[in-house]
Amino acid sequence: MVGPLIMQFGTEAQKRRFLPRILSGDEVWCQGYSEPNAGSDLASLRSSAVDDGRGSFVVNGQKTWTTYGQYADWIFCLVRTDASGKKQQGISFLLVDMKTPGVTVKPMLTIGGTPAFCETFFEDVVVPKENLVGPLHGGWTVAKALLGHERTMIGGVGASLRALRRLKRIARETTRAGAPLLDDPMVAAKIARLEVRLRSLEMANYRTLAAAALGHAPGPESSILKIRGSEIQQDCFELAMEIMGHDALSWHDTAGAVPALETWVPSTYCYNRATTIYGGSNEIQKNIIAKLILGLS
Ligand SMILES: Cc1cc2nc3c(=O)[nH]c(=O)nc-3n(C[C@H](O)[C@H](O)[C@H](O)COP(=O)(O)OP(=O)(O)OC[C@H]3O[C@@H](n4cnc5c(N)ncnc54)[C@H](O)[C@@H]3O)c2cc1C
């Protein structure tokens, strides 16, 4: 997600420094947007970056829900650089090396049993000014542009197509009275309904890709992809759980043994509760659609 942002808003030096290693995967990034009291109301964030007068910012504060922060080399952060005006106007977009003294990461366990996200603390973290992306106090525009890419990605058409293939395999391999559940008209109809919704989303996604190919960054329409895609991801796994019946009570084997059953289903089902929350909750996406697409105030 940060790659397109550096391409759009970064300096030539930032592009040279960061883009090759983003592309190769040699450097892993995490996202420092949310804070304990700034989630949906992101502009209320309080982590601060103060100019030290010697070419650097000094960052203090806390981020939360930092996905895979414990593995990341870099974090892109929204920080407050001015508290005097409208809250959206005093935010800047800063790239922070996770190895900088004063950065502490505390992983948290999800209901799916994985340490997928962290709390990230900043205590007098010195960040060179050349790590500022976009104008000083102008980070809100950068942040919104990044969210357009993130929400398009969360739409997750590829992941849902894969989940649907697995769902059909489970329905084929699970039998009732000697017959595969895939042959049960009720089950087949539920899968077909899901597939129709997913194919419609795929077509909508192609429109975004076609616009991207013409150089247009995703706008508020990414909220539509995010809502529909996140709901489909949840529905795929809900149906898989239903089809598996009591087999769905098995759990991911943390010892690493090859699972005999589809044990990835219950853990992904639990994790996917989050798809309608992360990247901005679906309720917030509906607010965006109402305001920016339908023109309602
Ligand atoms: C698995 C997971 C991974 C995440 N990864 C990251 C990450 O890597 N980096 C990062 O910065 N953040 C991350 N997040 C945080 C995520 O962006 C926030 O959880 C999300 O924006 C919601 O904020 P909140 O949790 O503070 O909920 P709140 O803002 O407290 O919202 C609580 C509820 O109130 C509703 N609500 C709030 N305001 C309104 C409104 N105006 N209108 C209608 N309904 C409203 C919300 O929809 C929600 O249902 C992650 C979250 C999850 C669950």
> What is the CATH number for 216?
1.20.140.10
- How much is the pLDDT for 115? 83
Going by pLDDT thresholds of 50, 70 and 90, the confidence category of residue 261 is: low
Going by pLDDT thresholds of 50, 70 and 90, the confidence category of residue 254 is: low
Torsion of CA 111, 115, 116, 120, to 10 degrees: 120
Do the bridges between strand 103-108 and strand 48-51 make them parallel or antiparallel, or are there none, so unpaired? unpaired
57 neighbors 20 (Cβ within 8 angstroms):
no
Q: What span, in angstroms and rounded, lies between the C-alpha atoms of 78 and 59?
A: 11
Q: Give the model confidence (pLDDT) of 214-246 as tens digits.
A: 988 888 999 999 999 999 999 999 999 999 888
Going by pLDDT thresholds of 50, 70 and 90, the confidence category of residue 114 is: confident
Q: Kindly report the average pLDDT of the chain as a whole number.
A: 93
- How much is the pLDDT for 260? 47
Which of 18-22, 62-66, 107-111 has the weakest average pLDDT? 107-111
The DSSP secondary-structure symbol of 54 reads: S
Side-chain-side CA neighbours of residue 274 (13 Å): 14
Residue 47 has pLDDT above 80, yes or no: yes
Mean of the pLDDT values across residues 277-292?
Answer: 96
Residue 179 has pLDDT above 90, yes or no: yes
Which of 83-87, 168-172, 204-208, 247-251 has the weakest average pLDDT? 247-251
Pick the atom of ligand 1 nearest to 69's CA. 8
| Helix orientation angle between 185-213 and 157-173, rounded to the nearest 10 degrees | 160
Range of the domain at 127: 2-137
Question: Of the residues 30, 31, 64, 65, which should be mutated to test ligand 1's pocket, given the most ligand atoms within 8 Å of the CB?
Answer: 65
Q: How far is CA 87 from CA 34, 43, 81, 82, 151, in A?
A: 15, 6, 10, 8, 23
| Helix orientation angle between 222-244 and 139-154, rounded to the nearest 10 degrees | 40
Q: How many domains does the chain contain in total?
A: 2
Q: Is residue 224 part of a domain?
A: yes
DSSP bridge pairs for 20: none
Indicate if 219 and 123 belong to the same structural domain.
no
Going by pLDDT thresholds of 50, 70 and 90, the confidence category of residue 10 is: very high
Residue 255 has pLDDT above 70, yes or no: no
Q: Is residue 144 part of a domain?
A: no
Q: Is residue 143 part of a domain?
A: no
Helix H or strand E segment including 63? strand 56-67
- How much is the pLDDT for 109? 86
* Two tokens, residue 102: 């004063």
Indicate if 242 and 272 belong to the same structural domain.
yes
* Percentage of the residues of the chain whose pLDDT score is greater than 70: 95
Question: Where does 68-134 show beta strands of DSSP type E?
Answer: 74-80, 91-97, 103-108, 117-128, 132-133
Q: What are phi and psi of 240, to 5 degrees?
A: -60, -40
Q: Give the model confidence (pLDDT) of 61-90 as tens digits.
A: 999 999 999 999 999 999 999 999 999 999
Lining ligand 1 with CB less than 6 A are 30-34, 39-40, 65-67, 117, 274, 277-278, 280-281, 283-284, 287
Question: Of the residues 278, 286, 287, 291, which should be mutated to test ligand 1's pocket, given the most ligand atoms within 8 Å of the CB?
Answer: 278
DSSP bridge pairs for 120: 63, 105
Q: Give the model confidence (pLDDT) of 185-213 as tens digits.
A: 999 999 999 999 999 999 999 998 899 88
104 neighbors 121 (Cβ within 8 angstroms):
yes
| The residue count for the chain | 297
Pick the atom of ligand 1 nearest to 42's CA. 21
Cβ-based neighbour number of residue 272 at 10 Å? 20
Side-chain-side CA neighbours of residue 270 (13 Å): 16
Q: Is residue 263 part of a domain?
A: yes
Residue 262 has pLDDT above 90, yes or no: no
Pick the atom of ligand 1 nearest to 282's CA. 47
Indicate if 85 and 29 belong to the same structural domain.
yes
Which of 40-49, 107-116, 147-156, 275-284 has the weakest average pLDDT? 107-116
Indicate if 58 and 183 belong to the same structural domain.
no
Catalytic residue among 35, 130, 150, 242: 150
